[in-house]
């Protein structure tokens, strides 16, 4: 079936203050975890984890992405889209958006991540901090939904996701993380990390 045109973005809620009652209970710890998403997936899958790069290149950012990154429509961004797999199934779709002007110093190295997770680079720098965190429910009319669900093995009427602004090596970047139908159960050993107000590093 051909997906409908991507006519709009979802409505984004602030993670700390937005309504969570509609979020499926199984997804709440994933959305609110302030630790490493990569590590949580490794823990939940007992190391059956890998990253597959779907796209990397220059794009114009969406209007709401530009707002969070504080850039104009004329400024280019480097976009990296990957799937995070557990047990050979896509569990998370991640889209990282980096303004061209941010690609200085250590941030330039992020262009060469390949199939390594972004979180590994973010955690290597103890000064990395987390800024605005938001969540949303995605439907087939949303662009990110269409990009996340382009693999034939992914089928869902709606999916949930979050996005976070990171300040890494003195520069700003945005990470979107959409949780797919094959997302594993949240690891019990990490439940103390969910719902906290501290903004440490997470990544894909």
Give the torsion sign (CA, 179, 171, 64, 115).
negative
B/e letters for 130-139, b = 16+ CB within 10 Å, e = fewer, are bebbbbbbbe
Nearest to 180 by CA among 153, 202, 142, 143: 153
Domain positions in the chain: 25-186
How high is the pLDDT of residue 190? Answer: 67
Q: For the domain made up of 25-186, give the CATH fold.
A: Chorismate lyase (3.40.1410)
Q: What are phi and psi of 89, to 5 degrees?
A: -120, 140
Please list the rounded mean pLDDT of every run of 10 residues in the chain (204 residues). 61 86 89 86 90 94 94 95 95 97 94 90 85 94 93 87 94 96 85 44 41
How high is the pLDDT of residue 7? Answer: 58
SS (H, E, C) 8-70: ECCCCEECCCCCCCCCCCCCHHHHHECCCHHHHHHHHHCCCEEEEEEEEEEECCCHHHHHHHC
As a residue count, the chain comes to 204
B/e letters for 153-167, b = 16+ CB within 10 Å, e = fewer, are ebebeebbbbbbbbe
* CA distance linking residue 6 with residue 131, whole number of Å: 27
* CA distance linking residue 152 with residue 158, whole number of Å: 16
Burial (0-12, 13-18, 19+ Cβ within 10 Å), 83? buried
* CA distance linking residue 178 with residue 160, whole number of Å: 6
């Amino acid at each position: 079936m051909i997906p409908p045109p991507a006519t709009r973005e979802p409505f984004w809620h602030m993670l700390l203050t937005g309504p969570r009652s509609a979020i499926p209970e199984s997804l709440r710890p994933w959305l609110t975890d302030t630790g490493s998403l990569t590590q949580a997936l490794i823990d939940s899958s007992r190391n059956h984890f890998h990253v597959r790069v779907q796209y990397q290149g220059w794009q114009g950012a969406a209007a709401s992405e530009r707002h969070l990154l504080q850039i104009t429509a004329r400024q280019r961004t480097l976009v990296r889209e990957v799937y995070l797999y557990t047990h050979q199934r896509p569990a998370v779709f991640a889209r990282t958006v980096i303004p061209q002007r941010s690609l200085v110093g250590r941030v330039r190295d992020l262009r060469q991540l390949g199939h390594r997770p972004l979180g590994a680079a973010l955690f290597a720098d103890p000064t990395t901090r987390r800024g605005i965190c938001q969540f949303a429910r995605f439907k087939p009319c949303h662009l990110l939904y269409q990009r996340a669900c382009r693999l034939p093995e992914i089928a869902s009427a709606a999916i949930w996701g979050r996005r976070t602004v990171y300040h890494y090596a003195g520069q700003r970047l945005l990470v979107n993380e959409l949780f797919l139908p094959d997302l594993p159960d949240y690891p019990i050993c990490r439940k103390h990390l969910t719902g906290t107000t501290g903004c440490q590093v997470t990544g894909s």
